[in-house]
């Protein structure tokens, strides 16, 4: 029996998508602070190399950017312009930051934070039934953008990739929740050793984590490139990154010739 041929062209597209995604974020993001595992966030913030994503998966994520642009056009045509797109907000000297999708005008007498999310049919129906708190990262993201911008309401538009249905959810600002998230970010940034893992090793979240090997089998971890956060000379005092060689680090995350790998 002859095996079906691999689509060489499709494989090359997946590889191209993976190459284009090969970037290291040098801050803790508003979009991830709601993740229940602080250790995972600490690894990412410090610059440890994550397990590589398949190019096809990256294409799924990037589809969300195209849908976002399309929804912006549709909202404008319906009389609800979205302004201030990709504005950056930050705390702790830029070490905790995010770029919102924008603010939507015309829904009420003041603008709302606006964000677009794509999802499959199953997730779309769950969001309609359970609301945004079904996904803690999205709820945290909404709270952080409201807090940082001074707006007290947000609208998250969920786009069903299977049917093109749209569900718009209104979220209200909860000040204690926002402050709790900021303190969580402070704690992750300021500690010099990995926090406790937020999941049981046998959980689905742990099994699919980008840092599972580093967390559970650190001797098997392969570090792709040197980073300030992994250097023996780097320490944090509160949220200030300090270097035993160079003093306070003005540019976080870029290693120098005196880099020495630490063991966490």
Write down the domain spans for the chain. Answer: 26-224, 225-264
Q: Identify the sign of the CA torsion 69, 75, 79, 81.
A: negative
Structural tokens at position 90: 């930050």
CA gap 8, 230 in Å, rounded: 38
**Neighbour count for residue 16 (Cβ, 10 Å):** 13
Which is it for strands 240-243 and 82-83: parallel, antiparallel or unpaired? Answer: unpaired
How large a percentage of the chain has pLDDT more than 90? 66
Binned at pLDDT 50, 70 and 90, residue 2 comes out as low
pLDDT of residue 72: 98
DSSP symbol at 198: S
CB 261 within 8 A of CB 226: yes
Q: At what angle do helices 8-20 and 55-77 cross, to 10 degrees?
A: 70
* Main-chain phi, psi angles of 118, to 5 degrees: -100, 150
pLDDT of residue 6: 65
Q: What's the rounded mean pLDDT across residues 207-221?
A: 90
Q: Is the pLDDT of residue 183 over 80?
A: yes
Q: What's the rounded mean pLDDT across residues 173-188?
A: 98
CB 97 within 8 A of CB 30: yes
pLDDT in tens, 87-119: 999 999 999 999 999 999 999 999 999 999 999
| Reported pTM | 0.91
In whole angstroms, how far apart are CA 52 and each of 2, 23, 198, 210?
Answer: 31, 11, 22, 8
CB 166 within 8 A of CB 158: yes
Q: What's the rounded mean pLDDT across residues 37-45?
A: 96
pLDDT of residue 61: 85
- Domain 26-224: state its class: alpha beta
DSSP symbol at 63: H
Choose among 169, 156, 172, 173: nearest CA to 68: 156
How large a percentage of the chain has pLDDT more than 70? 96
Q: What's the rounded mean pLDDT across residues 66-80?
A: 97
Structural tokens at position 48: 């440890």
Higher pLDDT, 127 or 220: 127
Torsion of CA 160, 161, 165, 167, to 10 degrees: 30
Q: Is the pLDDT of residue 79 over 80?
A: yes
């Amino acid at each position: 029996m002859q095996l079906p041929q691999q689509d060489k062209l499709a494989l090359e597209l997946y590889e191209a998508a993976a190459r284009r995604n090969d970037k290291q974020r040098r801050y803790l993001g508003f979009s991830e602070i709601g993740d229940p595992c602080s250790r995972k966030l600490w690894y990412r913030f410090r610059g440890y190399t994550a397990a590589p994503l398949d190019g096809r998966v990256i294409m799924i994520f990037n589809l969300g950017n195209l849908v976002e642009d399309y929804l912006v056009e549709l909202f404008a045509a319906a009389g609800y312009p979205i302004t201030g797109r990709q504005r950056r907000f930050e705390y702790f000297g830029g070490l905790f930051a995010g770029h919102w999708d924008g603010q939507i005008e015309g829904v009420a007498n003041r603008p709302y934070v606006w964000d677009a999310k794509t999802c499959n049919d199953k997730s779309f129906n769950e969001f309609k039934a359970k609301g945004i708190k079904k996904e803690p990262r999205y709820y945290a993201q909404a709270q952080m953008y409201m807090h940082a911008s001074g707006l007290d309401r947000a609208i998250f538009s969920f786009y069903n990739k299977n049917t093109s249905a749209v569900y718009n959810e209104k979220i209200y600002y909860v000040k204690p929740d926002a402050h709790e998230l900021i303190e969580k970010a402070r704690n992750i940034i300021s500690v010099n050793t990995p926090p406790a893992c937020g999941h049981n090793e046998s959980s689905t979240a742990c099994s699919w984590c980008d840092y599972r090997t580093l967390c559970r089998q650190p001797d098997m971890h392969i570090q792709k490139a040197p980073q300030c956060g992994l250097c023996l000379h780097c320490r944090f005092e509160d949220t200030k990154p300090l270097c035993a060689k160079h003093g306070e680090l003005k540019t976080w995350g870029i290693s120098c010739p005196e880099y020495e790998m630490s063991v966490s």
